[in-house]
Structure 1
Amino acid sequence: MKSVVYLIFLSFLATPLFADKRSMLIQKGAKISKIMCDKKRLQTIQNLTPDEAQKRIVSEKICTPLNPGQLRAVALFATSKTKQTTAQSIHVPNDAKCPICGMFVAKYPKWTAFM
């Protein structure tokens, strides 16, 4: 019983570690890909899974020969989806009103988006 509780507790602790390790591998892959890979050919594997990307990197020789750790990092970097860095502003019409209180919301577009 104690071992089951201990394993469950460890699984909750380990989850953030895997996310941090993955993000560190993606950063490492970015550095490696800048130096050792062809950028145009690397973009062709963007929509694959990391395992398929690894196979294609080796078979098509997109990068110079890499060890398995470097290969995994480059594959994770190539297949990771980057978020949009610029936020788009919301256009709120001047005559828009709150349906609950009737306040004109054009003055506070961020509040409008929040609601």
Structure 2
Amino acid sequence: MFIGRLVVFITMLFSPHILLSANSEYSHAVKIKKIYPMGEKIYKKNCNEIRLADYKNYEELKTEIAAKKLCKVLKEKHLEAVSLYLWEYKRVQKSTNIESIKVNENEKCPVCGMFVYKYPKWAAQIFYEDRHYSFDGVKDMMKYYFDNMDKIEKMLVTDYYSQKAIDARSAFYVLGSDIYGPMGAELIPFESQSDAKVFYLDHKAAKILRFKEISQMQVYKLDE
């Protein structure tokens, strides 16, 4: 089963007709890890400076790059990689505001006692009516959650790829990967199932869980 999924993923990754299309649906993770870096490298090495404000959409940009020879002659997949990098990444990079979890410097994780602000990419929070608690990972958050479930108003975790604050109850969690957080083995959160699947394949994980599927036993087993 794993080999089958891996073959499908690799096929998608190296097929320009499937992957490098503005209209195709493929994961944010693949864009971040493969497409944008490829496009950036090609752009810096083979293209003139391109004013993105002059273009209304991705298709217009891509067409103009080829028609006006703004880059050296490129294969179709390389042209698309450059266009996607410029339109989806470079164009919005400076203007995009990512809503991340806000943690004060004096906040300690109530489970392990560590200062949470030192580990922003792992931050998680539980909110009650009159207070909130911050954690240096989903694992510690879940330990606290199982003992203090009553009257919780909101729970936030940090998407591993985007670093955006997302709703803990609607997230997808990868369990048993080779990536470790401040407190060791972790439940790695993602906003989308497709990103979770890519991470699962890349990092030799055991399973993907929804919030309601996470058990107290699984959480504590991560410390073994």
Paired position in structure 1 for 2:28? 19
Paired position in structure 2 for 1:65? 73
Amino acid at match of 2:72: T
Asked if 1 retains the 8 angstrom alpha-carbon contact of 2:48 and 2:71, the reply is yes
1:49 matched to 2:57:
yes
1:29 matched to 2:44:
no
* Distance across 1 between alignment mates of 2:60 and 2:95: 25
Structure 1: where are the runs of 5+ without partners? 1-15, 86-115
TM-superposed deviation, 1:45: 5.7
* Distance across 2 between alignment mates of 1:55 and 1:66: 12
The structure whose residues are more often helix, as a share, is 1
Structure 1 residues 45 and 76: CA distance shift in structure 2, 3 A: farther
The structure whose residues are more often strand, as a share, is 2
Higher relative contact order (CA 8 A, sep 6+): 1
Alignment partner of 2:48 out of 28, 38, 42: 38
TM-score, length basis structure 1: 0.50
Structure 2: where are the runs of 5+ without partners? 1-24, 97-224
TM-score, length basis structure 2: 0.27
Paired position in structure 1 for 2:211? none
Paired position in structure 2 for 1:82? 93
| Equivalent residue pairs, number | 71
CA displacement 1:36-72 (0-9 Å, x = unmatched): 0002xx1246653222211010111100110011001
- Which secondary structure does the structure 2 equivalent of 1:64 belong to? coil
Amino acid at match of 1:27: P
* Distance across 2 between alignment mates of 1:57 and 1:69: 13
Larger radius of gyration: 1
Structure 1 residues 61 and 33: CA distance shift in structure 2, 3 A: same
* Distance across 2 between alignment mates of 1:76 and 1:61: 17
Structure 1 residues 84 and 52: CA distance shift in structure 2, 3 A: closer
